[in-house]
């Protein structure tokens, strides 16, 4: 891929109201709009990607579409503008894009999301549990009960609820890919609740792979490192942005498309014997 890695080395101070918007990022990250070239490796597949409006979710939707998959994406209602942009790029690749605005913090919402995606695409072959919530805090005392619930309901409960709702629709050969994080292995003190959920996702992935393997369903996870998405300036202090990603061995943050390629691999038949694995895309930070 022809991507601008230099742009990921120095960020100006910046902040956004949560949940953040792509067009307000400086610089605007690469989601593979022009840099990613598909090879038909997901031809005929149907994928549901949560948090598909921006960041890693958008890049994964675009890459999947360029590989031949139709996609459905979920997102919060206030992210409609970003979701429409994702849809535009998916359709430009000649694939269908079903938009399903959903707050995944209840079981009922996830059941409705599953049904809307299955009906919109005619079935689901790949489930990408990517949606996540974080909010940096200086100490445990600063984490409100409301924040704790939102973090766990979005990052953990939603995966249980949505995957359960789709179990009867996933056939042998299907793939489930969860989005964990370097935070599961190297937690930041300011992301105590978020890092805890990501560690839980690692365990969930291994156990679910063991349960669903006999049914021919693979379950894996991708652990991104510092990736430039709206989540960063929307959940962390503005003054921390210039240093974002510089502590990675590669010396920079990553573009969302650099993570999406891992999701592509795990969704394809190239990964037919890969299950129960956490694949790190961390700029060199160890995931063990």
Which of 78, 80, 79, 34 lies closest to 59 in space, CA to CA?
A: 34
Give the Å distances, CA to CA, from 9 to 28, 107, 182, 227, 251: 13, 40, 19, 11, 7
Task: Confirm if 153 and 193 have CB atoms less than 8 A apart.
Answer: no
CA atoms of 199 and 167, how far apart (whole Å): 23
DSSP track, the chain: ----SGGGS--------TT--GGG-SSPPP-STTT----STTTT-EEEEETTTSHHHHHHHHHHHHTT-EEEEEE-GGGHHHHHHHHHHHHHTT--EEEEE---SSHHHHHHHHHHHHHHHTS-SEEEE--------SSGGG--HHHHHHHHIIIIIHHHHHHHHHTTTPPTT-EEEEE--GGGTS--GGGHHHHHHHHHHHHHHHHHHHHHGGGT-EEEEEEE-SB-STHHHHHS-GGGGGGTTTTSTTSS-B-HHHHHHHHHHHHSGGGTT--S-EEEESTT----
Phi, psi at residue 280, to the nearest 5°?
-85, 135
Active site residues: 194
């Amino acid at each position: 891929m022809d991507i601008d890695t230099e742009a990921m080395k120095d960020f100006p101070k910046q902040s956004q109201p949560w949940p953040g918007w792509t067009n307000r990022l400086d610089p605007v990250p690469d989601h593979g709009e022009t840099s990613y070239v598909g090879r038909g490796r997901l031809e005929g597949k149907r994928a549901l990607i949560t948090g598909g409006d921006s960041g890693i979710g958008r890049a994964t939707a675009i890459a999947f579409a360029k590989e031949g998959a139709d996609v459905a994406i979920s997102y919060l209602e206030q992210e409609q503008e970003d979701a429409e942009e994702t849809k535009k790029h998916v359709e430009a690749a000649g694939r269908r894009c079903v938009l399903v605005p959903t707050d995944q913090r209840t079981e009922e919402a996830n059941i409705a999301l599953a049904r809307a995606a299955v009906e919109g695409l005619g079935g689901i072959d790949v489930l990408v549990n990517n949606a996540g919530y974080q909010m940096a805090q200086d100490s445990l005392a600063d984490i409100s009960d409301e924040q704790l619930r939102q973090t766990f309901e979005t990052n953990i409960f939603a995966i249980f609820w949505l995957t359960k709702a789709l179990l009867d629709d996933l056939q042998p050969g299907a793939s489930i890919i969860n989005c964990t994080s370097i935070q599961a292995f190297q937690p930041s003190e300011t992301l105590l609740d978020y890092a805890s959920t990501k560690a839980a996702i690692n365990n969930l992935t291994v156990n679910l792979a063991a349960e669903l393997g006999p049914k021919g369903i693979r379950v894996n996870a991708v652990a991104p490192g510092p990736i430039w998405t709206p989540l960063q300036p929307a959940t962390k202090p503005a003054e921390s942005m210039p240093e974002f990603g510089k502590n990675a061995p590669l010396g920079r943050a990553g573009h969302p498309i650099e993570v999406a390629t891992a999701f592509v691999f795990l969704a394809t038949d190239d990964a037919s014997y890969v299950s129960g694995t956490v694949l790190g895309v961390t700029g060199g930070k160890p995931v063990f």
